[in-house]
């Protein structure tokens, strides 16, 4: 991994203290992972940019700095319902932003975070068109520091020399994964925000295609 520019990586602070989530019963395993093909799951239509900033949320206690640079978080031992997430990062004038740093981290199919290594953790830069792609799994709900948490993916987004957006992405109420009641868990999660729900296509072959576009500030 190349040396990090401190101005770009300022938000990746060290010393993050984790709390161990309570493990939930293991889910049924999905088929062996293969990289999703575009024909497998068409992406939903991208909504037009409204110019409204993506809402922020708490970072949580389980962030780890210096995650690997990668777009695929599915490593050996990771099973579950697979997710191919795509999107664009815009500024408040709805201009796509290249070179934006996005850091993702999440729990696994059992509701556990990797606090030792970097499983289901990674960062990337948006491409010349402001786009990003993430291949991962749908995370599990769990009990943690703030009680019951619905399924979510943590994200930090930062334009070059811009402020950091800390937020969380959630899943629709009708998401099908691990036999869980996403509607009930969303309703019981104090941080759940409908404005941060991923748009999902139909479940096909144990995987979803999803879409979420970010709108961020480029200066303080």
Beta pairing class for 142-144 and 82-90? unpaired
174 burial (CB, 10 Å; 0-12 / 13-18 / 19+) is: exposed
| Domain ranges across the chain | 82-215
CA distances (Å), 106 to each of 32, 65, 112, 142, in order?
A: 20, 14, 8, 11
The Cβ-side half-sphere exposure at 23, using a 13 Å CA radius, reads 4
Count, in order, helices (H) and strands (E) of the chain: 1, 11
Cβ pair 149, 186 in contact under 8 A:
no
Per-residue pLDDT of the chain (220 residues; tens, 9 = 90+): 444 444 344 434 333 333 333 333 333 333 333 334 443 444 444 456 888 999 999 988 789 999 999 999 999 999 999 999 999 999 999 999 999 999 999 999 999 999 999 999 999 999 999 999 999 999 999 987 767 899 999 999 999 999 999 999 999 999 999 999 999 999 999 999 999 999 999 999 999 999 999 999 999 8
Q: Which residues pair with 153 in a beta bridge?
A: 169
Q: Which pLDDT score, from 0 to 100, does residue 143 have?
A: 87
Topology of domain 82-215 in CATH is Protocatechuate 3,4-Dioxygenase, subunit A (2.60.130)
Residue 2 tokens read as: 């190349």
Q: What is the pLDDT of residue 111?
A: 95
pLDDT at 48: 64
Give me the pLDDT at residue 47, please: 53
Contact 105, 63 (CB under 8 A): yes
CB 74 within 8 A of CB 104: no
């Amino acid at each position: 991994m190349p040396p990090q520019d401190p101005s770009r990586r300022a938000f990746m602070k060290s010393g993050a203290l984790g709390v161990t989530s309570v493990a939930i019963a293991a889910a049924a395993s999905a088929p062996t992972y293969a990289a999703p093909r575009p024909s497998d799951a068409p992406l939903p239509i991208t909504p037009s940019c409204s110019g409204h900033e993506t809402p922020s949320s708490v970072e949580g206690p389980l962030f780890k700095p210096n995650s690997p640079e990668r777009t695929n978080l599915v490593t050996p031992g990771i099973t579950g319902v697979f997710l191919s997430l795509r999107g664009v990062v815009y500024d408040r004038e709805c201009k796509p932003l290249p070179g934006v740093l996005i850091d993702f981290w999440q729990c696994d199919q059992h509701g556990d975070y990797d606090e030792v290594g970097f499983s289901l953790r990674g960062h990337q830069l948006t491409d010349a068109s402001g786009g990003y792609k993430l291949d991962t799994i749908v995370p599990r709900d769990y009990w943690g520091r703030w009680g019951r948490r619905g399924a979510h993916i943590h994200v930090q987004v930062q334009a070059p020399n811009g402020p950091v957006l800390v937020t969380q992405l959630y899943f629709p109420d009708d998401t099908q994964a691990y036999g869980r009641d996403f509607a009930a868990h969303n309703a019981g999660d104090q941080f759940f925000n409908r404005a941060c729900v991923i748009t999902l296509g139909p479940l096909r072959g144990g995987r979803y295609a999803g879409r979420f576009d970010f709108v961020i500030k480029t200066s303080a």
